[in-house]
Amino acid sequence: MFTLELSEQEIFRRKSLEELRNLGIEPYPAQEYIVTAYAKEIKETFKDNAPRNEVSIAGRIMSRRIMGKASFAELQDSTGRIQLYISRDDLCPGENKDLYTTVFKKLLDIGDHLGIKGYVFRTQMGEISVHVEEMTVLSKSLRPLPIVKYKEGVAYDEFKDPELRYRQRYVDLIVNEGIKDIFIKRTQIFNSMRNFFNQRGYIEVDTPILQSIPGGASARPFITHHNALDIPLYLRIANELYLKRLIVGGFEGIYEFSRNFRNEGMDRTHNPEFTVMEIYVSYKDYHWMMNFTEQMLEEICLDVLGTTEMKVGDTVINFKAPYRRITMIDAIKENTGIDISGMDEEALRKVCNQLHIEHDKTMGKGKLIDEIFGEKCEGKYIQPTFITDYPKEMSPLCKRHRNNPELTERFELMVNGKELANAYSELNDPIDQRERFEEQLRLSEKGDDEAMFIDQDFLRALEYGMPPTSGMGIGMDRLVMLLTGQPSIQEVLFFPQMRPRL
């Protein structure tokens, strides 16, 4: 049996809850509480000479100062904080004055939710406040909040430990200023991108999260089991193959904000559960998609930030179009002095040895090139840069380059040393696609646990004919990190994955 161990404060608050009920005050009332105003709006619209403004507000007590017959408190709602002025004689006149002493002074705590009715005024100290005429207990807090305190100008009891903040995001949102703003901005970024697509007539769709084959990317999947069908299923690692089925079906432009899952490592830019936006547009190629992507990102920055420039550390990153474009082979040559064009697997292994890059026998040409670029090039591209024309071994779903069959028509957008977007002229030749899948199968047999499965139904769809198409995926969490200036993906996810504990 689980035993709840309570601190002294928690015991005290539970006793206060019982006493409120003994006084006939329900600490968790069921009725609706009508809110007519919010803290931010009250402070922004108040005018000293205006008629008396009666308001009804609701929020959480964040501080209080009891001063005999009058007290001050700070109420926090969804928009910010506002001061309350509570007078015993106004709130509990005559013979009810003892109720003020009992309830407000003894039984209410920081963290409790109150409903307040009263009028707005400015105190002698010049602070816009609400003069309380009626108070309703809406929810009793049984745990004390880690409210920041100051002693001789030094803050203590701050809720700053990252592990605690991520495990108890609800507390983080209550007590740490600016955290909520990150997630509001996240929503604004999604909405701006969605509006950009909708204005161009593209359709938002949904595709399966549980899949019989984890297709569309090279990644290790999470595996589960469907009891009714008695089959293994995989959590989606990408939605690409389903979206391209819809292009086959006749949609000209579609997109999805996709929650994906990859059973891989975790660090400051990787979480096993993450959000990607993928868009596919018929009759376009990757050159068109580069123009489209830089226009989209410029517009999102202007919508959300009011500027295309943002500071990341000591560096100013500018999303103003156009962006630099350089081929992958030229990028490797630019940063290592080595031209890898035309090299076979053995030659690439020698390059890895020369550059002191770890590799193993399971890696084919694509993985070796990817390791070279990742180790020696990726981190060098801080300003938005399109890395283009990847070797075909790295891109099993991408169309061969029109001028060089050893390359593919692919780009990745690098920003601040990390991949932000990935796009192709999509492979729509079903025979070529089958051969690419079979090559992935051979890599899997060599021990590459991230190699793609062969998706026979997707191949069947391609055989019905997919028009020329360009597709692009963008890591939404990384985009939010950039536009909010956050150093880790955990800061932009409400509930990042962590090892559970009681």
Confidence of residue 138 (pLDDT cuts 50, 70, 90): very high
Cα(85)–Cα(57) distance, integer angstroms: 13
| 280-307 pLDDT per residue, tens | 999 999 999 999 999 999 999 999 999 9
Tell which residue, 366, 361, 344, 372, has the closest CA to residue 445.
361
Cα–Cα distance, 115 to 46 (Å, whole number) = 20
With pLDDT > 90 as the criterion, what percentage of the chain qualifies?
Answer: 76
Q: Are 61 and 112 in contact (CB under 8 A)?
A: yes
- CATH number for the segment(s) 179-323+383-492: 3.30.930.10
What's the confidence (pLDDT) of residue 2? 53
Task: Give residue-wise pLDDT tens across range 459-482.
Answer: 999 999 999 999 999 999 999 999
- Is the pLDDT score of 126 beyond 80? yes
Q: 260 or 366, which is more confident?
A: 260
Looking at the chain, the whole-number percentage of residues with pLDDT higher than 70 is: 94
> What tens digit of pLDDT does each residue of 183-206 get?
999 999 999 999 999 999 999 999
In the chain, domain spans: 8-145, 179-323+383-492
State the pLDDT at residue 157.
67
CB 466 within 8 A of CB 428: yes
Per-residue pLDDT at 98 = 64
| Domain 8-145 homologous superfamily, CATH | Nucleic acid-binding proteins (2.40.50.140)
Reported confidence tier of residue 449, pLDDT bands at 50, 70, 90: low
Q: What is the mean predicted confidence (pLDDT) over 256-266?
A: 94
Residue 153 has pLDDT above 70, yes or no: no
384 or 501, higher pLDDT: 384
Asked if 440 and 451 touch (Cβ cutoff 8 Å), the reply is yes
Q: How far is CA 440 from CA 19, 218, 368, 421, 430, in A?
A: 69, 9, 15, 23, 15
The gap from C-alpha 67 to its chain's centroid, in whole angstroms, comes to 44
Any alpha helices (H) in 230-274, and if so which ranges? Answer: 240-248
